[in-house]
Amino acid sequence: MTRMVVLTGAGISAESGVPTFRGADGLWEGHRVEDVATPEAFETDPDTVLAFYDARRRALPLVEPNSAHRALARLEGAIGDDLLVVTQNVDDLHERAGTGNLVHMHGELLRALCLACGARPVWHDDLIDRPPCPACGERMLRPDVVWFGEMPYELDRIEQAIVVCDMFVSIGTSGSVYPAAGYAALAAAFGARTVELNLEPSDAVVPFDEVRVGPASRHVPEWVEERIAIHRP
Ligand code: BJW
């Protein structure tokens, strides 16, 4: 049985209409994402940061998973727990497509994080008006997303899956943010085959064994159908 870890980034959701971070039409246009996606930016100007995430949360129901998200859900249907999808995305398109074995390493737009008690309630409303935390009542909720300098979620689970996987696949990520940017090299060091599916090749530190260049909506379904055909007895 082939054990796989698939790492996804903003590129997989781009064709659903969710903007990527870097590049011409990047989400933080005119700013370096490294300067604004920080706890310091939130401390300095919480209203701007809360309004920014409120707008992105409100836009989520307007977008739909695309054929790449759906293909990964089909792959899980075929190989089950041998697939772990690790997403850097804070949207909910993987789960809406049907992926269950999923880690949101940079958090989720549809959760809030209470700075008073640490609760992470599911959250669909705005945060700008400082609503009370459902767990402790304090009005100290922030978006449950991981900013620069903060610890991503479930790193142990991710690394344990990578060191035993046979294949590591990176989809639609620029490979510019650590620790995710180091995962392909980690997988390769432990003997996995590494594959990149991206609109443009990323700046990988260690070259991938295979690179397919083009839109995720085309390459991911093709790659998944190949994997399912190989898996079929
Ligand atoms: C398509 C497409 C189509 C387009 N089809 N493809 C060394 C080791 C460890 C840490 C560091 C280190 N050096 C520096 C650090 C610190 C820092 C870091 O990485 N800095 C860099 C600037 C160098 N990292 C951190 O601070 C992280 N925490 C941390 O390290 O904790 C301590 C620790 C230490 C040691 C071990 C473990 C931990 C936290 C990083 C948090 C990142 N947060 C953000 C914001 C989240 C909230 C939000 O959504 O607003 O996460 S930043 C932003 O970048 C977001 C993304 O998840 C992340 C990655 O971006 P992504 O997904 O790659 O998007 P883009 O836009 O960059 O690229 C899009 C790609 O899609 C491109 O390649 C296109 O070609 C492609 N594409 N259309 C296919 N149709």
Class of domain 19-62+108-145 as given by CATH: alpha beta
> What whole-number distance in Å separates Cα of residue 208 and Cα of residue 168?
9
How many residues in the chain?
233
The pLDDT of 14-26, averaged and rounded, is 86
pLDDT tens track for 147-187: 999 999 999 999 999 999 999 999 999 999 999 999 999 99
Residue 8: closest CA among 65, 81, 85:
85
Q: Are strands 83-87 and 4-8 parallel, antiparallel or unpaired?
A: parallel
For atom 80 of ligand 1, which residue has the closest CA?
215
77 within ligand 1 shell (Cβ under 6 A): no
CATH 2.60.40.1180 fits 1-18+64-106+151-233, yes or no: no
Angle at 187 between CA 151 and CA 88, to 5 degrees: 40
Q: What is the pLDDT of residue 205?
A: 77
Q: Where in the chain is the domain with CATH 3.30.1600.10?
A: 19-62+108-145
pLDDT at 27 over 80: no
pLDDT at 233 over 70: no
35 within ligand 1 shell (Cβ under 6 A): no
What atom of ligand 1 comes closest to residue 178's alpha carbon?
Answer: 19
* Residue 168: how many other CB atoms lie within 10 Å: 27
The CA 128 to ligand 1 mean position distance, Å, reads 25
pLDDT more than 90, % of the chain: 87
Q: Where in the chain is the domain with CATH 3.40.50.1220?
A: 1-18+64-106+151-233
> What whole-number distance in Å separates Cα of residue 67 and Cα of residue 55?
25
Report how far apart the first and last C-alpha atoms of the chain are (Å, whole number): 11
